[in-house]
């Protein structure tokens, strides 16, 4: 893993619970998201980190699909927060997809109601979460995505808190047996 990964993303301390994947395509990134999404529940918070074009929104598409959503998932860059609905097997819970790229100041970030999103009964996914680093809960799953080549990406899952350690262990078990 390059130093560029740690410099360009949210402060992500290495832990023994960390998990790395190499995705070879957009479809594979979405499948990883589907597997993860199927394991999520109310109150889960995922922080998505990485540069433009790395696949954060594709991962969200997979997560929403894994939660049974049939909604069209798009980047919320201009609207800041999109809301989708999980399917009936996941209690139709709300899925909040926020993008903080266009926000520079703490007041702007506070003004969109992020705390209500991650404190509620839905799943909350935040792109460009490093912009709100000092406001975020300590318990979350940080997912850093980085380019390896035109088609390959590294996805690093770093759990913060017991819930997310269990989630990463479950994901690892489901993917690798």
Q: CATH number, domain at 154?
A: 3.40.50.300
Domain count, the chain: 1
Say if 9 falls within a structural domain.
Answer: no
Say if 11 falls within a structural domain.
Answer: no
Quote the mean pLDDT of the chain. Answer: 86
Say if 6 falls within a structural domain.
Answer: no
> Domain containing 50: what range?
18-176
* CA separation for the pair 56, 141 (Å, rounded): 14
Q: What is the pLDDT of residue 50?
A: 94
Average pLDDT over residues 38-54: 95
Average pLDDT over residues 138-159: 95
pTM for the structure as a whole:
0.86
Q: In the numeric block, which tokens belong to residue 90?
A: 């996941």
Q: Categorize the per-residue pLDDT at 139 as very low, low, confident or very high, splitting at 50, 70 and 90.
A: very high
Average pLDDT over residues 32-50: 96
Q: What is the pLDDT of residue 174?
A: 82
Say if 94 falls within a structural domain.
Answer: yes
The answer to whether residue 3 scores a pLDDT higher than 50 is no
User: How is the beta sheet containing 140-147 ordered, strand by strand?
Assistant: 19-23, 153-160, 140-147, 45-49, 123-127, 94-99, 81-85
Say if 42 falls within a structural domain.
Answer: yes
* CA separation for the pair 129, 153 (Å, rounded): 19
**pLDDT tens for residues 80-118?**
888 999 999 999 999 999 888 866 666 566 666 677 777
| Helix 26-37 and helix 162-176, axial crossing angle in degrees, nearest 10 | 120
């Amino acid at each position: 893993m390059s130093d560029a990964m740690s410099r360009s993303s949210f402060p992500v301390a290495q832990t023994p619970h960390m998990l790395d994947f190499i995705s070879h395509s957009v479809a594979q990134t979405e499948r990883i998201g589907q597997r993860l999404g199927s394991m999520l529940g109310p109150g889960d918070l995922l922080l998505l980190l990485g540069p433009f074009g790395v696949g954060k929104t594709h991962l969200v598409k997979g997560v929403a699909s894994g939660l049974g959503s049939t909604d069209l998932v798009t980047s919320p860059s201009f609207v800041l927060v999109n809301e989708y609905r999980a399917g009936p097997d996941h209690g139709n819970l709300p899925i909040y997809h926020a993008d903080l790229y266009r926000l520079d100041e703490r007041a702007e970030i506070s003004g969109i109601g992020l705390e209500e999103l991650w404190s509620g009964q839905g799943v909350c996914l935040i792109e460009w979460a490093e912009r709100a680093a000092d406001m975020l809960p300590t318990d979350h799953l940080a997912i850093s995505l980085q380019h390896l080549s035109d088609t390959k990406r590294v996805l690093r899952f770093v759990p913060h808190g017991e819930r997310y350690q269990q989630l990463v262990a479950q994901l690892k078990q489901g993917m690798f047996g």
